[in-house]
Amino acid sequence: MKKLLLLIICLLMLTGCQQTKNKRVELNQNAGQILPISALAIDKEDNLYKMTIESIRQDSLDGEVSPAYFSVKAENFSDLFYNADMMLASRLYLSHASIVIISEDIARFDIDNLVNSLIERPDARLTIRIAVAENSTPDEILQAPSVTDGIPGMALSSLLEKRTKDQTFSDFPMFRILDYRLNGRDIALPVLILSDDGHVSPKSNIIISSDGGVKYA
């Protein structure tokens, strides 16, 4: 019995620490229900950060998957997520978020803070792609009607993935950005533009140096 107890304790240690923030979820209970997020669009307005959140919902098994949008404002990124959480009865769930669209300003001067804020969340994945919006605001890009092949955020992420696979664009998911920035190296983020007909497409890469300098490639 003693041996068994000892082994169970050892096994518990081996499995690592359970994330305290990873709370139990009941999918049919509003209080614990999770709200899957597919994409984020972050911009800066009047010295405040504005985050547009694209959540995805499906009301019944035979129903369509549809996106829903809401925006929050805050002075920093951590507060953005906190405010978004406070707005919802359910839990903001970033595990399925695949893309974050940011403005050029944020890309140049606040990318480190943004990455750090995302890393702080236990549910955010390190594979989230970050793209830069050009000629439109990030939320306009995210909500562009012509992209809506199901969920816009997911469609944009798939598009970028496809384009990085054929090496048209550099592949810079969040973990690589983090790695490059820690080593003081330049990062290359894809640039998304909104055409007159409302179509979103990747245009080029924006190369951001550690001091905030940019060049397009």
Partner 1 sequence: MAEIKFTTSLEHNIQVLKNIFKNDNTFITRIAKNKNGLICAICFFDGMVNNLAINQSIIRPIVSCYESKVTAETLAETIIQINDSVVQPDLNKMLSAMMYGDTVILTEGEDKPVVVNTKGFSVRSSSEPDNERVLRGPREGFTEAFMTNLSMIRRRLNDTRLKFSFSRMATHSQTAVCLCYLEGVTDEKLVKEIKKRLDKIDLDGILDANYIAECIRDEQNSPFPTLGTTERPDVVVAKLLEGRIAIITDGSPVVLTAPCILQECIQANDDYYLPVMQASLARIIRSFGIMLSIIIPALYIAILYYHAELLPTRMLLALAAAQKGVPLPPLWEIFTLLIVFEILKEAGTRTPGVIGSTMSIVGGLVLGQSAVSARLISAPAVIIVAIAAVTGLAAPKLQNAALYLRFILLVCSALFGLYGLVLGLSSVLLHLCALHSCSIPYLLNLLPRVNAHTEDRTIRISWRKMKNKRFIAERGKK
Binding site for partner 1 (CB under 8 A): 4, 7-8, 11-12, 15-16, 18, 22, 24-29, 33-34, 36, 38, 56-61, 63, 65, 93, 95-96, 123, 125, 154
DSSP category for residue 19: P
Q: Would you call 64 helix, strand, or coil by DSSP?
A: coil
- Which one, 153 or 190, has the nearer CB to partner 1? 153
The token duo for 81 is 């997520």
Longest dimension (CA), the chain: 73
Q: Is the CB of residue 39 less than 8 Å from the CB of residue 99?
A: yes
Task: Compute the least distance from the CB of residue 25 to partner 1, in Å.
Answer: 6
The residue type of 173 is: P
Q: Would you call 66 helix, strand, or coil by DSSP?
A: strand
Name beta bridge partners: 58. 65
Task: Compute the least distance from the CB of residue 195 to partner 1, in Å.
Answer: 27
The residue type of 46 is: D
- Which one, 140 or 150, has the nearer CB to partner 1? 150
- Which one, 66 or 209, has the nearer CB to partner 1? 66
- Which one, 49 or 93, has the nearer CB to partner 1? 93
Task: Compute the least distance from the CB of residue 169 to partner 1, in Å.
Answer: 23
Task: Compute the least distance from the CB of residue 183 to partner 1, in Å.
Answer: 28
- Which one, 12 or 86, has the nearer CB to partner 1? 12
Q: Is the CB of residue 98 less than 8 Å from the CB of residue 154?
A: yes
Task: Compute the least distance from the CB of residue 65 to partner 1, in Å.
Answer: 6
How far are the Cα atoms of 33, 115, 186, 191, 204 from residue 180, in angstroms, in the given order? 36, 12, 7, 18, 19
